[in-house]
Amino acid sequence: MSVTVLVGSQWGDEGKGKIVDILSEKYEIVTRYQGGANAGHTVELENKKYVLHLIPSGILRDDVTCVIGNGVVIDPVALLEEIKFIESCGIKVEGRLFISHNAHLIMPYHKLLDSISESGENKIGTTGRGIGPCYIDKFARKGIRIVDLLDRKILERKIRENLKEKNNLLQKVYDHAALDVDEIIKQYQEFDKAIDVYVKDTPAYLNNAIEEGKSVLLEGAQGALLDVDHGTYPYVTSSSPTSGGACTGTGIPPTKIDSVYGIVKAYTTRVGNGPFPTELLDETGDKLRNVGAEFGATTGRPRRCGWFDAFLVKYSAMINGITDVAITKLDVLSSFEEINVCTGYEIDGKLLKSFPTDVDRLSEAKPVYETLPGWNEDISTCRSYVELPEKTKAYLKFISEKSGIKLNIISVGAKRSETFFV
C-alpha cells in the first residue's frame, strides 16, 4: 500500500492522464491537488477516448474513489458538465467522487479578468479558464469556497462583497461594463443541490484512508516548469504542480508520501508563451507536432515542439524528488533519422551549472546537443523492453543517464494497452 504523487516533469501534457489510468489499477483512491479545468488529461481505452479536466483520471476504473482536493480551483459549471459527460458514458460518479469543502470556486469574474489581462501586452497565453484570478482571490483571502455553496445566505453575502470590488475594477480600471450581481447569486445558489452530494472533509477522509492502509495516487496537473515557484516565472500557472504542492493541496502530510512518479515525454512540448530552449521552429518541429498530434486537449492550440531536454528534466527530478519515471510518446520519434538530446545550456560560450528559471537568462541559453541515431522502425507493437530496437534502448539509456532518472514505464502509443513496465 502506498501514497504516490504523480507529476508532469516538463511543461505539461506529458501524458499524465494515460499513466494515472495505468497506475490506478493498483490504487484505491486518486486525488487531484492543484490547478483546475486548465488541465486536459487524456485517457484512451481501446475504443473510447476521454479528456478529463477536473475529475481525476482514476474515474475510469470502477473500483477507484476520486477526490478533488482543497488545492484545486473548481468551476462548478465545468465540473457539472464533466460529471454529466462521464455519467452519459455509463460510468457511475456519485458515491465515487468527493470534493473538498475548502476548494475555491471559479466565478464568472475570474474568467472575465483572465481574458481581460490576456488582451493586453505581455500575454502569458493562459487557457482562459479563470485560474490566475481565482488563486489571486484565494491568497488575498477573498475567495469563495465549495462550502459556501451550501449556505445560500453566506454565499449571497460573499458574492455581493466580491462583486462590489470587482465591478469597481472592471468599470474604473478596465472600462468594462459591470457584472449583474443578482444574476451571479441566482446562478451560484442553484449549484447547492447538485454539488452537496460530493462535498466532504477530504483531508480527514484521505488521512483516515491512509491510516487504514489504503493506497492513494495524487494526480498532478500541468508540469514542474509551469510551477509558480519553480517554473519559468512569469510564464507559469498560478499553482504548485510540483510534488510539494500535493501536500498542501490535499492535507496529506509529507511524512505520508512514499514515492514520486515523474511523467516525462520523450521530447518536449509547451503551450502558451515563455522561453523554450530546445524549441524547433522548422519542419522538424512541425513533424513532431503532426506525428505526436500535439494540439491542446483543453484549448485545441497547437503545442510548441522541440527535442528532449535532459538538463530541464534533471532540474525537474531534483525539485520533485522523482523516484520513478514513465516515459511517454516514445513511438512519436520512430520516423526520425537522427534525434538530438539537449545535455546542457551555454550562455556566452559558458556551460551553465544549474537550470536558469529566470526567463531572461533562459531566453539567452543555447542548448548543447548530442545527436543519436534514430531507430526508424515502428515500436508501437512492442510490449516489453527486450522487444525494443537496440537504438531505442540506447536513446532511453542516454536520456535517463543525462537526466539522472530511472525508467519504470514505457509508453509507445495513446492506448491503455500500448504500455509496459521495464
Task: Give contact residues for ligand IMO (rule: CB under 6 A).
Answer: 8, 12-13, 38-41, 124-127, 129, 131-132, 221-223, 226, 237-238, 271-272, 297
Specify the residue, 86 or 210, whose C-beta has the smaller distance to ligand IMO: 86
Specify the residue, 319 or 412, whose C-beta has the smaller distance to ligand GDP: 412
The C-alpha atoms of residue 297 and residue 320 are separated, in whole angstroms, by 24
Determine the residue type at 131.
I
The C-alpha atoms of residue 72 and residue 33 are separated, in whole angstroms, by 6
15 interacts with, out of ligand IMO, ligand GDP, Mg ion, none, CB within 5 to 8 A per kind: ligand GDP
Sign of the dihedral defined by the CA atoms of residues 165, 170, 175, 181, in that order? negative
Residue 362 exposure: Cα atoms within 13 Å on the Cβ side:
21
Shortest separation between residue 22's beta carbon and ligand GDP, angstroms: 10
Q: Is 332 in the site for ligand GDP (CB under 6 A)?
A: yes
DSSP codes of every residue in 105-149:
EP-HHHHHHHHHHHTSSS-----SSSHHHHHHHHHTT---BGGGG
Q: Which of 29, 97, 280, 412 binds ligand GDP (CB under 6 A)?
A: 412
Q: Is 274 in the site for ligand GDP (CB under 6 A)?
A: no
Strand order in the sheet with 3-8: 199-200, 97-100, 65-68, 29-32, 216-219, 3-8, 259-265, 324-328, 407-411, 419-421
317 interacts with, out of ligand IMO, Mg ion, ligand GDP, none, CB within 5 to 8 A per kind: none
Determine the residue type at 303.
R
| Neighbouring C-beta atoms of residue 404, cutoff 10 Å | 13
Shortest separation between residue 294's beta carbon and Mg ion, angstroms: 11
What CA–CA distances, in Å, run from 410 to 16, 23, 210? 13, 12, 28
Shortest separation between residue 383's beta carbon and ligand IMO, angstroms: 26
Q: Is 16 in the site for ligand GDP (CB under 6 A)?
A: yes
247 interacts with, out of ligand IMO, Mg ion, ligand GDP, none, CB within 5 to 8 A per kind: none
Determine the residue type at 31.
T
Specify the residue, 13 or 28, whose C-beta has the smaller distance to ligand GDP: 13
Shortest separation between residue 297's beta carbon and Mg ion, angstroms: 4
Q: Which of 28, 148, 156, 331 binds ligand GDP (CB under 6 A)?
A: 331
251 interacts with, out of ligand IMO, ligand GDP, Mg ion, none, CB within 5 to 8 A per kind: none
Shortest separation between residue 7's beta carbon and ligand IMO, angstroms: 10
Q: Which of 21, 44, 82, 309 binds ligand GDP (CB under 6 A)?
A: 44
Q: Is 28 in the site for ligand GDP (CB under 6 A)?
A: no
Q: Is 230 in the site for ligand GDP (CB under 6 A)?
A: no
| Neighbouring C-beta atoms of residue 273, cutoff 10 Å | 16
Nearest to 36 by CA among 1, 69, 3, 84: 69
Could you give the dihedral angle defined by the CA atoms of residues 234, 235, 239 and 242, in that order, rounded to the nearest 10 degrees?
-110
The C-alpha atoms of residue 381 and residue 419 are separated, in whole angstroms, by 10
Whole-angstrom distance between the N-terminal and C-terminal Cα of the chain? 21
Residue nearest to ligand GDP (CB): 42
Where in the sequence numbering do the catalytic residues fall? 13, 41
Q: Is 35 in the site for ligand GDP (CB under 6 A)?
A: no
Shortest separation between residue 353's beta carbon and ligand IMO, angstroms: 27
Sign of the dihedral defined by the CA atoms of residues 414, 411, 399, 52, in that order? positive
414 interacts with, out of Mg ion, ligand IMO, ligand GDP, none, CB within 5 to 8 A per kind: ligand GDP
Specify the residue, 41 or 138, whose C-beta has the smaller distance to ligand IMO: 41
Site string for ligand GDP, 281-310 (x = CB under 6 A): ------------x---x-------------
Is the CB of residue 10 less than 8 Å from the CB of residue 258? no
Residues making contact with ligand GDP (CB under 6 A): 8, 12-18, 40-42, 44, 293, 297, 328-329, 331-332, 411-414
